[in-house]
Amino acid sequence: MEVVLDFSLEIEGYNEIINEEEVKEYIYEVLNDEFESEKPVYISVALVGNEEIQRINRDFREKDRPTDVISFAYHETEDYMIGPYDTLGDIIISLERVEEQCNEYNHSFRREFFYVLTHGMLHLLGYDHIEEEDKKEMRAREEEILGKFGHTRD
């Protein structure tokens, strides 16, 4: 499956920590395992700071606070076939929030980043955690994917 990824690192200070090629490879591998499409798949990932994700959270979700990840799943709408692409959606991650959470949960930055990325990707693929049973299923799938790539809890 062909994956077209629009990747942007929009916050300074994380260039040494985030390896764009590794992130792209991870996304490709997860999508290859989790999703089938006859068309090329498009996904965008933006790595931002707390201020930007708070603005997005406020404007689109009416929650005026920073969060770790926001996903806009296009398959939840009728407009996901855009041009030649099967458009999965957008993932926005606050690297500042990821850093705060890795300290809160005593994880490495790397583990927390890949957890948040996986969480966002699963939302694009239709997973949810509103109902308790769905939450258990999503958490189990997250841990399974993270374990496959060696991103286990420290």
pLDDT score, position 75: 77
- 123: annotated binding-site residue? yes
pLDDT score, position 59: 97
pLDDT exceeds 70 at position 154: no
Alpha carbon distance 100, 17 (integer Å): 15
In a domain? residue 91:
yes
In a domain? residue 64:
yes
Alpha carbon distance 67, 94 (integer Å): 7
In a domain? residue 65:
yes
pLDDT score, position 1: 84
Q: Strand pairing partners for 72?
A: 90
Cβ proximity of 3 and 41 under 8 Å: yes
Q: How many domains does the chain have?
A: 1
The residue segments making up the domain with residue 31 are: 3-148
Which pTM does this prediction carry?
0.93
- 107: annotated binding-site residue? no
Cβ proximity of 142 and 111 under 8 Å: no
**Token reading at 138:** 């999503």
In a domain? residue 109:
yes
In a domain? residue 144:
yes
- Helix, strand or coil for residue 88? strand
Confidence of residue 85 (pLDDT cuts 50, 70, 90): confident
- 151: annotated binding-site residue? no
pLDDT exceeds 80 at position 9: yes
Strands 81-82 and 69-73: unpaired
- Between 114 and 85, the higher pLDDT residue: 114
In a domain? residue 153:
no
pLDDT exceeds 80 at position 76: no
In a domain? residue 154:
no
pLDDT tens-place string over residues 14-61: 988 999 999 999 999 999 999 998 889 999 999 999 999 999 999 999
CATH number at residue 126: 3.40.390.30
